[in-house]
Structure formats: structure tokens, C-alpha cells
Amino acid sequence: MSCCGQITTIRPPIEMSSQSDVLKGPDHIHVSKFYKEAKNGKFISYITENVRTLYQTFREGAYSSNNGPCLGWRETLTSPYQWINYDEALLRAKNFGAGMIALGARPKQLIGIYSQNRPEWILYEQGCYSFSLVVVPLYDTLGPEACAFIMRQTEMSLVVV
């Protein structure tokens, strides 16, 4: 038993071998399937023809998983994971984005998200994409000076905390 309790392995709901290719050689270097080395020297533009944006990617996940589990979290290191399915995540994201619009946000506006990595981050992000808002990540690990610099450089007027 480790210091953190029992560790449970979560198997990804996707085929990991479709995410990258392994280059020949002793180092087993993985490269994105978008790199030219992965497809006989040719770049590919999209993995599938009907998915070209992050907005579409999330919706494709809902479709291909048949509304399967989407975002998971656990309250403590030893508690079981709790999940919301894609439909619930899409509804929450859309409601968040609609709220941003109601507060005066407009398409192409830069929206900062200051948060740790967590399910809410994805919901905020997808809510912004639903209304063509541009996400600017402000990770808490950057520190206050770096975040302030990014906010000044981008001239953003709205930050989600």
C-alpha cells in the first residue's frame, strides 16, 4: 500500500494506438499522426473529415461514445470516481456559454480561464467554444505575475475564476 492509498487504473475509452505513431529506432519516440513522418512524408489536416474544430471534437466524442462518461473526478484520492456523461457536460457548457453572452461577451472575444485542471475547466472551455469565444488559459501554476502579464498583453476584459 502506498502513501496515497490504493491506486486504481482507469482505462481510456479510446484506442491509444490511434493517437500517435512510434518512430523506428531504439528510443520508441511517439509522434502525432499530424506530423509528416507519420504518414509517408505527407501532412494530414484532420483525423476525420467531419471533425475540424475543438467544438466539433467534443460533440464527436458524445456521438462516438453513445453519450458515455465524459468528465470524471473524485473527492479524495481514495474515493471512487464520479462521472457526468457527454449530454450533461454539453448542457452545462452551453448554459455557461449562454451566461457569458448574457453578461456581454461577444464572439471572438478573449476570455481568460484561471483554474486548476478540473472538470469545470473543460465545461468553461466548451461553453466558450459554443459561442465562438476565444479561450486564454491562465493556469494557477504560472503565478500571479505571469497571469497579469498575459492579461495585459491580450487586453482581455473577462476572466473566469
- The predicted pLDDT at position 41 comes to 64
Cell of 15: 484506442
Asked whether the predicted pLDDT for residue 1 surpasses 50, the reply is no
pLDDT tens-digit readout, 91-122: 999 999 999 999 999 999 999 999 888 999 99
Name residue, grid cell 520508441.
Answer: 28
pLDDT tens-digit readout, 33-55: 766 655 566 666 777 788 999 99
Correct CATH for 50-160 of 3.40.50.300, 3.30.420.10, 2.40.50.140, 3.40.50.980 = 3.40.50.980
Q: Which residues of 132-160 are buried (b: 16+ CB within 10 A; e: fewer)?
A: ebebbebeeeeeeeebeebbeeeebeeeb
Q: Which amino acid is at 156?
A: M
- The predicted pLDDT at position 127 comes to 98
**C-alpha–C-alpha distance, residues 16 and 79, integer Å:** 26
Q: Under 8 Å CB-to-CB from 5, ≥6 apart: which residues?
A: 77, 78
**C-alpha–C-alpha distance, residues 14 and 84, integer Å:** 17
Domain parsing of the chain, residue ranges: 50-160
What pTM value is reported for the model? Answer: 0.74
